Structure 1
Amino acid sequence: MEDLPSGLPEHELKAGLARFGITGKPVYAPVGFGDYHWTVYDRWFTSVSDLTTKPLARLRRAMETAASLGEQLPFVVAPVRSDDGETVVLLNDRYALSVFPYVAGRSGSFGDPVHAGVTELLTALHRCEPPADIPVAPIDVPARAALTALLDEPGKWFSDRAREVFVAHTGIVREKLAELDLLAGELTDERVVTHGEPHAGNVINTPRGLVLVDWDTVGLAPPERDLWLAGGDSAFYSLRWAVDDIADFAEKLRAPHERWRDAELTLHYFTETLKSL
């Protein structure tokens, strides 16, 4: 995210870092799209999640799963624990903090070719023993009900531009939802530990080899959930990714928000994803 989170003063972030025994001035890192990140001394990388879009219980289960996987697999960049043993700490009633070791290396962006070695990492991940409380990744689009309601009645949007482009594409969105239902029947019954988003932006090439970051979408699912992003093929998951993005962007653009750079980027991605269907 390029904009700083609204409603998170620096003293609350520092108080959260202190619970991990981390002092020093956090430096904002405008990377990724969804969470907010800071680095501290090039030793720690922080991830601050907005709990209005990412439920706290699901986030905690994901981070505990990642911590457990980090004990099994050397390529998992797992969260560290606070002084009282937590992988997620609340900063206030809206934001939660996780802390990771800072990893030096090269990464790409979503849409870039994925390093050939990622397939080997995913094979090891899919074969590992699932941690006890691992989340189950839903097959259907999580926000499908809200998206379907919006198709039936677009209602008011904070952004008139976003409403116009959505209304122009309601027909194709309905068609793609029906297509998803058909494709879901072709998925394998196998369920394995999946990362969820092993694209080039979440793979870091380090001097010691490839590592995977950003584990908040970890969950039990068919292996295709990961493999289509690593050079494989899955008509279901490639389409589900687009529809899921549309639902997520629509939720953000309908709600009141600041007219900042991140809002403009959301509208851009929303428009381009609808046009790509």
Structure 2
Amino acid sequence: MHELPEDVGEPDLWSALAAWGLAPGRLTYAAVGFGDYHWQALDTEGRHWFVTVADLTAKAYCGPDAPAAYAGLERAMDTAAALRASGLDFVVAPEPAADGRTLHPLPDGRHAVSVFPFEAGTAGDFGEVLSAAERGRVLDLLAALHRTAPPAAIPAHRPELPSRPGLEAALGALARPWSGGPYAEPARELLAAHGAGLRRRLAEFDRLAATAAGGAPVVTHGEPHPGNVLRTGERRLLVDWDTVALAVPERDLWLVAETAEDLARYADAAGRAADPAALALYRLRWALDDVALSIAEFRGPHARTRDTAVSWSALSGTVESLTA
């Protein structure tokens, strides 16, 4: 995220970080990832931390409103901490605060803070094409994750599209102009041009959901794409655990496995084979969810910023790819 969150300044952050016993030092904004806001923090003792501020109103997959999203995000952070404590050293988990909690609210009720040990390394980019060797490294991590006993706090994943009602409402509201901001009308025009194709893909999603078997539920990361893989020497670490959930393994695998050899490697390591229909289901689910979330953003109040420009470019590309 390039734009800083509204109404969250350094004094607010240092006040929140006191829960971790961190005294004010230096904060440096890190414009990495998309969705959350991040800072590097050096406290007065010279310790290096990675601080994340989540906008709870943008965490619909954690809960339908800010209080519910806070509870869901806290469960996800607790799950990551439990996975790390169980011996999965590739899990970059939040540091518990002095009271043992992995997440603390900011006074505005909209944002929440988590703190992570700083890990020096290089992350990839979403959509980056990985070599077979790199895919293998990530598949080995996923196999280890999927073999791990689920922590008590883990959320349960449902394959349904939580954002579907908003997308269907938008498809039914194309006759009148949209006025949320500069991308509202272009978004309406994009949906008007591709609405029939999107409806076909929604019907395809329903058919896959009815037929895909998938495997028994396991601990899944949810978003193990290259942007969430940190490369540090020969180690590979998984970051961004807010989507961790109990789900079929294909929820993770479709983002990594590209070939029959990849799937065979995973099957050997995990002791289970992937279901092609479930892989297709989750690939389609990701794209439709991206479209729905972007349309909701552009139907609502928004401005022209670097972040909304990125969202618009991604939306246009995804819609055209889905309906080609």
Q: TM-score range by the shorter chain?
A: over 0.9
Distance 1:105 1:199 in 2: 16
TM-score (norm 1): 0.95
Percent identity of equivalent pairs: 47
Name the counterpart of 2:280. Answer: 235
Secondary structure at the counterpart of residue 20 of structure 2: coil
Name the counterpart of 1:46. Answer: 51
Q: One-letter code of the match for 1:59? A: L
Alignment of 1:195-234 (within 5 A): 195-207=221-233, 209-232=235-258, 234=279
Q: CA RMSD in A?
A: 1.5
Runs of 4+ deviating beyond 4 Å: none
Name the counterpart of 1:81. Answer: 96
Name the counterpart of 2:152. Answer: 132
Please report how far the alpha carbon of residue 208 of structure 1 lies from its aligned counterpart in structure 2 after TM superposition. 5.7
Please report how far the alpha carbon of residue 157 of structure 1 lies from its aligned counterpart in structure 2 after TM superposition. 4.1
Secondary structure at the counterpart of residue 117 of structure 1: helix
Name the counterpart of 1:254. Answer: 299
Distance 2:246 2:226 in 1: 21
Aligned with 2:73 (options 45, 59, 82)? 59
Name the counterpart of 1:34. Answer: 35
Name the counterpart of 1:182. Answer: 207
Secondary structure at the counterpart of residue 49 of structure 1: strand
Name the counterpart of 2:191. Answer: 166
Name the counterpart of 1:17. Answer: 17
Secondary structure at the counterpart of residue 86 of structure 1: coil
Q: One-letter code of the match for 1:52? A: T
Structure 2 stretches of 5 or more lacking a match?
60-68, 259-275
Q: Are the aligned partners of 1:187 and 1:222 in contact in 2 as well (CA < 8 Å)? A: no
Name the larger-Rg structure: 2
Please report how far the alpha carbon of residue 244 of structure 1 lies from its aligned counterpart in structure 2 after TM superposition. 0.6
Q: Are the aligned partners of 2:215 and 2:249 in contact in 1 as well (CA < 8 Å)? A: no
Distance 2:281 2:216 in 1: 15
- CA deviations on 1:95-136 (whole Å, 9 max, x unpaired) are 111111111112210111342211111001001000112111
Q: Are the aligned partners of 2:138 and 2:256 in contact in 1 as well (CA < 8 Å)? A: yes
Distance 1:211 1:49 in 2: 21
Report the more deviating stretch, 205-214 or 25-34: 205-214
Secondary structure at the counterpart of residue 190 of structure 2: helix
Please report how far the alpha carbon of residue 150 of structure 1 lies from its aligned counterpart in structure 2 after TM superposition. 1.7
Name the counterpart of 2:170. Answer: 150
> Structure 1 residues 32, 196: closer, same or farther in 2, change over 3 A?
same
Distance 2:49 2:158 in 1: 31
Q: One-letter code of the match for 1:160? A: E
Please report how far the alpha carbon of residue 78 of structure 1 lies from its aligned counterpart in structure 2 after TM superposition. 0.4
TM-score (norm 2): 0.82
Q: Are the aligned partners of 2:35 and 2:58 in contact in 1 as well (CA < 8 Å)? A: no
